[in-house]
Chains A and B, each alone.
Chain A
């Protein structure tokens, strides 16, 4: 065996054991991460914190909790979704920020001095949510394929900004109900019941779309497309009854309680789904985005609690 002179021999191009660390976070992605983490923190706070008690009124308490949780879910979910979209359009910051704003406004609703600022924030969130629907619709239509299944699956989620608008509306609704009494209050309850009931049906449509995208590969994926719409329909029916006929709606109440329970249960299922992605939680930077959305199921709790509030008012303020 001969030894040859080689210009290449012995060249060590690079040590193959670089220090630990990954490629730097950059551009909008960095801010997105910050928002994401802040959002998750706020969301946790919202769930844990007892809202400032205006009055020991179970309806208002449920309404406020629901509006807060819904806003928190929207905030975290849109922060993650828009992070996945690299915040390529600055307008994408608006959604999560509006959700955070309305969540705080609802949380701190008892502070009299800031009531009008809070109302403005909640109104703005409603408007931004409605505009978001337009943005998302445009995003879907401008892609090749237009209004196609694949764009509905993977382009901007068509109904998601509606949840932001709803969080604003529920916050405003809580303010209104705090000031209403008697028959007026019951009428508010009926309207609230209608809004929440319809929202549950729309939300179900969105869940059905996304779980269809996931091919309903786990039978549990059928649960959130059966119980919430049943609860929504029952709530709408309850609201349609004559106001004089105050009575208990046991089925609607049970379904709403179950729907509220789907928030934490669904979150657990989604956490399991994330663990089934390649690399699981150790690969969280990918799995959290490509797996099932962790913050999404909480929105069912956020809708069910105002639904219970509405039902209570429809029933004539009867305590359980």
Chain B
């Protein structure tokens, strides 16, 4: 698979930082997110290594010298006991599910490829993730943890929630970003306010 290319090169939601699109409270939230990357406090070292490898494969960012941090925020949310409002009956509580799931991914790696998950090639890591997402895993460590629910109902949700909260991720999809007090005027298709991203570059479309 080819590397990711944004349709909106050069667009940056942070360029509007000092404009009416941003208010103080949003600046406070995003400044905190960008400057205070939490220290890992919940996971142990083994779990952490699986988690960071997993995040790297769910959201690969080879083009970035400094990738958007994801794992630290997962750790922080679990450490602080920030809930989601839902625990599926077939699942352990969130923290326990994460610990078991990461261990199970490692066990699956040992079973299939005879190594630690973090040490595998990207292709092999992807194969294990795809199997877990499809519920097609065999390691006994999954006992009591439905892999499909774990991946789709917890892991992927948490990772995209953290990644797409980041300005860099919002810029790459051409999202308008912060909107208060200034919202939008032009609501028709193909019409953009000057403070939005310009038209994207779409290889599948005539320019």
Contacts and interface: CB of A to CB of B under 8 A. Distances in A.
Q: Quick check: do A and B touch in the complex, using CB within 8 A?
A: yes
Interface in B109-138: none
Given A6-B71, A7-B52, A11-B37, 10 more contacts: A4-B45, A8-B52, A8-B70, A8-B72, A13-B167, A18-B17, A282-B20, A282-B181, A285-B195, A289-B185
A270 B193 CA distance: 22
Question: Which 7 pairs, one residue from A and one from B, show the smallest C-beta to C-beta distance?
Answer: A279-B181, A8-B69, A11-B66, A22-B19, A20-B18, A283-B20, A16-B31
A2 interface: yes
A286 B18 contact: no
Interface residues of A, number: 38
B20 A86 contact: no
B18 A9 contact: no
Contacts of B192: 86
Interface in B44-82: 44-45, 48, 52, 56, 64, 66-72
Given A14-B168, A282-B20, A23 B196 contact: yes
B198 A84 contact: no
B34 A12 contact: yes
Contacts of B17: 16-18
A62 to B, nearest CB: 37
Interface stretch (A24-32, A127-135, A241-249, A297-305): A24-32
* Chain A interface helix/strand/loop/mixed: loop
Contacts of A279: 20, 181-182
Nearest to A1: B41
A286 B21 CA distance: 10
A23 B194 CA distance: 7
B191 A88 contact: yes
Interface in A5-55: 6-14, 16-27, 29
A77 to B, nearest CB: 16
Chain B contact residues: over half helix, strand or loop, or mixed?
loop
Interface string A121-154: 0000000000000000000000000000000000
Contacts of A290: 185
- How many interface residues does chain B have, given as a range? 35 or more
A26 B186 CA distance: 14
Given A14-B168, A16-B35, A21-B15, A6 B181 contact: no
Interface of A: 1-4, 6-14, 16-27, 29, 84-86, 88, 278-279, 282-283, 285-286, 289-290
Contact of A21 (B18, B71, B181): B18
13 contacts: A1-B41, A4-B48, A6-B48, A6-B71, A9-B37, A13-B66, A16-B17, A16-B27, A16-B34, A22-B15, A26-B198, A286-B193, A289-B185
Contacts of A25: 194
B72 A9 contact: yes
Interface in B152-172: 166-168
B14 A18 contact: yes
Contact of A84 (B34, B168, B183, B185): B185
B95 interface: no
Interface in B168-207: 168, 180-186, 190-196, 198
